[in-house]
A and B are shown apart, each in its own frame.
Chain A
Amino acid sequence: MNRQRISALANKDARELIRNPGAIVPPVLMVFASLVPAFLVTIGAPMIAGETLEESGDFVEESARAINMIPELAALTGEALIQAFLFHQFALLLLMVPVVAATSLATHAVIGEKQAKALEPILATPISTIELLMAKTLTPFVFALALTWSAAALYVAGILAAGEPGVWRAVIGVRTLIMFVILGPLVELATLQVSVLVSSRANDPRSAQQFTSLIILPITAVFIAQLMGGFVVGAPALLLGVAGVLVLNGLLLWLGVQVFQRETILTRWR
């Protein structure tokens, strides 16, 4: 495997991305918008209703139960505890949105080159299939990571500014670090690998995009189930998830190389 070839193609993709505001602005706006629900539910709604979450009785039991799964919450009581609980629950949304945003780039990765008639010259170089797939995943991955971490920084800054004292500290715990530094990036990588894989098999970007939109369904399901059922995915479950997604990433890379058919792409796509 040649790192120079991977970085050359990924660098090219990054330059193209930077020169295309139409591809950057919507994902960035989407990520900013994803911050709103957490603050709306936790800070905005009680202000509008004129009573705190604790006074309304919402999420009181769920918050108390969550202390078992998120030890950082133990230092808090009352409104601060409920706020910290809710901010933890909404954090999953911050992982989901950058993935959705970056899949549009990844989905376009191979099929976009084909449409621009640029794929044949690329394939005429010594680049191997695995190098091509890695290069095509790298730029969307870095983009998704930058979006995720920017969103996380803004999230914590918002909590610091608008939340009860100490809430922000309870939000930055082991669970959050696992989510944003290990599991989140791995899930993003897996999702983007699937997107690139679909991009290498689909006939046009729209069908590829529609197919990859199905990928986020499991994450959405976990997020909604969390909010509806009030359960918390704790650090041990997240670490188990890390192991699973790590294996999944390896499998996806292998599968991507197996299903990438240079000849089919060149001779059958129009």
Chain B
Amino acid sequence: MAADLLVADRLTRTFGDRVAVRDLSLSVATGEIVALLGPNGAGKTTTMRMLAGLILPTAGRIAIDHVDISEATADLARRSVGLLTETPGLWERLTVRFNLLTYARLHGLDRPAEQVDRVLAEVDLADRADDLAGTLSKGLKQRAALARALIHRPPVVLLDEPTSGLDPASARHVRDLILGLRNEGRAVLVSTHNLAEAEELADRIAVIKTQLLAFDAPAALRGRREGITVAIEFDDGSKHSVEVRDLSEVPDLVQRLVHEGKRIVRVVPDRRSLEDVYLSLVGADS
């Protein structure tokens, strides 16, 4: 079993009287992508900021690469974590290369210019390196921001809404880059609103709404609902839906209907979508 590079244990963060995150525990292993799903205001960004060492939890423990993070060691978290913020936040009057070069120096990297060339190639942005950041499209800015998050080769990568507002092609490109991070053995935590994206990218999904509501593999989450709807189609064209507790009840159901003289054309267990599960967890109003 792969080692957990990122561990959050019973994290709580309050702002005055308001509880932003309560008792949240999750972990991300080497070469694993975990998606953080939740409605607006669920505490996703606060969680990301705590894990990146930007703000401290009010209670709970964070360990990054097996080192506990405290006020004294928050600096260590910032060295080991690459954070992609919700908005690219590039210096638009400067070239992409200079943006990255500044961050390479802020991270104290050896041969910063070489590191910039490497990361530009990684995100497929080498041909736009000398363009002003302000002239890039939204998708390219996001790739430049991703390059910035990866410039210091962090073992843990936190991505806050990485494809938000991108066109489908740009989003696809960013998702491919994220999948590449898993292959490199990094621990990746992706915050997203996009359920399909979470399902496509993530090995496990954490659903939060201030507190952790579920943390499991996508398939396991989908199977969480109690009961399955089975759609039965008869030879006269009529359809009927029946709720069963699990699929083992279906043969008996079919047998009973046949015994009653029904002529069945098709029996389809209704595969529950992640969206159904998500909405049932966080509440449909979210």
Q: Please list the residues of chain A having a beta carbon within 8 angstroms of any beta carbon in chain B.
A: 2, 4-5, 7-9, 11-12, 15-16, 19-20, 116-128, 262-263, 266-267
Contacts and interface: CB of A to CB of B under 8 A. Distances in A.
A266 B92 CA distance: 21
A262 to B, nearest CB: 7
A9 B49 CA distance: 22
Contacts of A116: 89, 91-92
Interface of B: 15, 46, 49, 52-56, 75, 78-79, 81, 83, 85, 87-94, 98, 102-103, 105-108, 145, 148-149
Contact of A125 (B49, B56, B103): B103
Contacts of B75: 126, 128
Given A4-B105, A5-B105, A124 B94 contact: no
B49 to A, nearest CB: 7
A121 B83 contact: yes
Contacts of A117: 85, 87-89
Nearest to A17: B93
A246 to B, nearest CB: 29
Given A118-B91, A266-B54, A127 B49 contact: no
Contacts of A266: 49, 54-55
A268 to B, nearest CB: 8
A120 to B, nearest CB: 5
* A-B pairs, 9 with minimum CB distance: A8-B105, A117-B89, A125-B106, A118-B89, A117-B87, A124-B83, A19-B93, A12-B102, A263-B55
Nearest to A135: B106
B207 to A, nearest CB: 23
Contact of A124 (B46, B81, B92, B93): B81
Contacts of A120: 54, 83, 85, 89
Nearest to B151: A125
Given A9-B102, A117-B88, A16 B93 contact: yes
A263 B56 CA distance: 8
Given A122-B106, A126-B108, A15 B52 contact: no
B249 to A, nearest CB: 51
A124 B91 contact: no
B107 A121 contact: no
Contact of A121 (B46, B79, B103): B103
B102 A11 contact: yes
Contacts of B105: 4-5, 7-8
9 contacts: A4-B108, A5-B106, A8-B102, A16-B94, A117-B87, A120-B89, A121-B83, A262-B54, A263-B54
Nearest to B49: A266
Contacts of B108: 2, 4-5, 126
A19 B92 CA distance: 11
A121 B148 CA distance: 9
Given A123-B54, A267-B46, 15 more contacts: A2-B108, A8-B102, A8-B105, A116-B89, A117-B87, A119-B89, A120-B83, A120-B85, A120-B89, A121-B89, A124-B53, A124-B81, A126-B107, A127-B106, A262-B54
A12 B85 contact: no
B15 A267 contact: yes
Contacts of A121: 83, 85, 89, 103, 145, 148-149
A118 B148 CA distance: 12
Nearest to B104: A8
A123 B55 CA distance: 10
Contact of B98 (A5, A15, A126): A15
Contacts of B93: 15-16, 19-20
A118 B94 contact: no
Interface centre among B46, B83, B91, B148, by most A CB within 10 Å? B91
Contacts of B83: 120-121, 124
Contacts of B88: 117
Contacts of A126: 75, 78-79, 106-108
Contacts of B91: 12, 16, 116, 118
A15 B54 contact: no
Nearest to B112: A8
B107 A19 contact: no
Most buried by A among B49, B85, B105: B105
B191 to A, nearest CB: 14
